[in-house]
Amino acid sequence: MLHNLFIVLTLIVLEGLLSADNALVLAILVKHLPRDQRKKALRYGIWGAFIFRLIAILLAKELRRFWPFRLFGGLYLCYVSASHFIRGKPEEPELVAVSKKGFWGTVAAVELTDIAFSVDSILAAVAMSDKVWVVYLGGILGIITMRFVAGGFLRLLDLFPRLETAAYLLVAWIGIKLSLETFDVHFPNWLFWGVMFVLFASGFARTRPSAVKEEASKEATFATVAEVDVEKPRE
């Protein structure tokens, strides 16, 4: 049981680190809407993400039985990690066209963005555990974490910039594990989790002063997310 809870905690942290900047994009997507509609769009986005995550996990668990899927999934995770180090941090996507969309168009954009962002984390999750409830609980709590404490993850990444590198190294390590399972090669639990711990701990190796202007800009955008359930009603 403790092992399963540890996996859930790992999935929450991994989801938060990988999705901190993604949450920023989602906040920008709804920024053009009136305040009351921003909250609704994000809330609908959360429920849509819950449903999609469950369906995707169930499908992934079934597909994992077939070796081509395990090989493709593992190689895809390695590709995600390698592309991060080769191309660096991607530029913020162009969102001008989205600003012209209405409420439901924005909700659809949030849903599609959520789906695109969740592929790597879903593959990583099913590679770490065979239990659907563990994977789903970790993924759902990760989504909630991304929505409501994403600003904290951004500050953590600002204080410990190597955490982002560590997160993508974790993705690569999980991808290697999933790929090797195709050839019936399995790591001992102590080795897999030992490397996971070392890679995660390496993210705290060095700190640097936070970029005040950049953080202020990000926190201003995340006010859109943070104001859920705290906004006072208009008189």
Summarize pLDDT for 89-117 with one digit per residue, the tens. Answer: 544 444 444 444 688 888 887 777 676 66
The average confidence (pLDDT) of the chain is 72
- Specify the number of domains making up the chain: 1
Tell me, yes or no, whether 145 lies in a domain.
yes
Tell me, yes or no, whether 146 lies in a domain.
yes
Residue 200 pLDDT greater than 80, yes or no:
yes
For range 185-189, the mean pLDDT = 84
Range of the domain at 208: 2-226
Q: Which of 129-133, 139-143, 161-165 has the highest mean pLDDT?
A: 161-165
Tell me, yes or no, whether 144 lies in a domain.
yes
Tell me, yes or no, whether 235 lies in a domain.
no
Tell me, yes or no, whether 66 lies in a domain.
yes
Q: Which of 74-83, 124-133, 202-211 has the highest mean pLDDT?
A: 74-83
Tell me, yes or no, whether 231 lies in a domain.
no
Tell me, yes or no, whether 192 lies in a domain.
yes
Query: What is the model's pTM?
Result: 0.60
Tell me, yes or no, whether 221 lies in a domain.
yes
- For the stretch 177-181, contacts whose Cβ atoms lie closer than 8 Å and that sit 24 or more positions apart, written own/partner, are 177/74, 177/127, 178/70, 178/73, 178/74, 178/77, 178/123, 178/127, 179/70, 179/71, 179/74, 179/75, 179/78, 180/74, 181/70, 181/74, 181/127
* Of the candidates 113, 92, 122, the residue with the CA atom closest to the CA atom of residue 46: 113
Residue 11 pLDDT greater than 70, yes or no:
yes
